[in-house]
Amino acid sequence: MALDDYELLQDVVLRAMRLDLRLYKREQMERRLRAFGTQRGYASLAVLGEALAPDRALQSQLLSYLTIHVSEFFRDPRFFDDLRLLLPQLPQPPHTVRAWSAGCSIGAEPYSLAMLLEEERPGQHYQILATDIDERSLDLARRGVYREEDLRQVDPLRRTRYFSPDGKGYRIRPDLQQEITFRHHDLLRDPYPDEQDLVLFRNVAIYFTEQAKEQVMQRITRSLAPGGILMVGSTEAILRPQQIGLRQVRPFFFARA
C-alpha cells in the first residue's frame, strides 16, 4: 500500500531529526505539522518534507513546535504538597539523593524540586538530572531566568530566598542551578539513567501512543532504585501498577516494589 503524505513526512522526520512520530498520536501530530507548514508557507506536507531534510534550523523550530512546553514553578501545587510528605521516605544522609525530572521543559519542575529538597532535607546532598527532547527549552532552563507568570505559585518567601531580580524577570539562585544537570534525552529512544531515588514524570506522555506510554512507564520503573518514588501527572495514569513492579502510595505517587 502506498504511503500517504503524513507517513512520508514521518520518514523524513525520523531520518533527519531522529524523532519517531509513529510513537506519538497521529491526529495531534498531523494537525500540528500541517499548521506549522501552513504558517511558513509550505503548500503541503510533501513540500515541508523537502525543505526539512537539509535544514537544521527548520528542524529545531519544528521540534519545538510539535512538543508542548507549558510549565511553571510548583505546577499543580497539591502534587508538590504530597511530594513534600513523601520526602522523609528517601534514603538518609550520607546518601546523595538522586532525582530525575523526565521531560523538564524550561526547568521550572526540577528547580521546584530543588527548593523542596533544600527545605525538607537541609544539609543532604542531592543531584537532579533534568532532561528534555527540546533543546530550546533546555537552553531556557540552563539560563534560569523566568517571567512573572512562571512564578505564579511561588510565595514571597521563596521568591526572596531563591530568585534575584533580572530585568523584568527573575533569576534562579546560581547554587541551586549547580545541583541540576540539564541534558538532551529522548524518552522514546535513548538509554535511561538508573538507581534514581525519585522520578518526576508529568504532563509529558499526553501525545504518546498507548503502547509507547506503556513502554516508557516500564523503563521509568526500571530507572528507580528499589523503594524509589515516582510522581506522575494526570496524563500519565498507571492502570495496573503492580504488573510493572510499582506500588501506589498516594494518588499520582508510586514506589518501586
Contacts to ligand SAM by CB under 6 A: 67-71, 75, 103-105, 109, 132-134, 137, 185-188, 202-204, 233
Closest contact distance (angstroms) between CB of 122 and ligand SAM is 25
Contact in structure between 105 and 142 (CB atoms under 8 Å): no
Nearer to ligand SAM, 5 or 186 (CB): 186
Nearer to ligand SAM, 31 or 125 (CB): 31
Amino acid at the residue 227: G
Nearer to ligand SAM, 91 or 136 (CB): 136
Cα–Cα distance, 257 to 248 (Å, whole number):
10
Q: Which three cell numbers stand for residue 196?
A: 534514581
3-state secondary structure of 188: coil
Closest contact distance (angstroms) between CB of 41 and ligand SAM is 25
Nearer to ligand SAM, 117 or 187 (CB): 187
Closest contact distance (angstroms) between CB of 92 and ligand SAM is 27
Closest contact distance (angstroms) between CB of 58 and ligand SAM is 17
Nearer to ligand SAM, 47 or 63 (CB): 63
Cα–Cα distance, 54 to 50 (Å, whole number):
8
Nearer to ligand SAM, 67 or 177 (CB): 67
Closest contact distance (angstroms) between CB of 186 and ligand SAM is 5
Q: Which three cell numbers stand for residue 126?
A: 542531592
Q: Which three cell numbers stand for residue 135?
A: 533543546
Cα–Cα distance, 25 to 69 (Å, whole number):
17
DSSP character at residue 149: G
Q: Who contacts 73 (Cβ-Cβ below 8 Å, separation ≥6)?
A: 108, 111, 112, 146, 150, 151, 152, 153, 154
Closest contact distance (angstroms) between CB of 184 and ligand SAM is 9
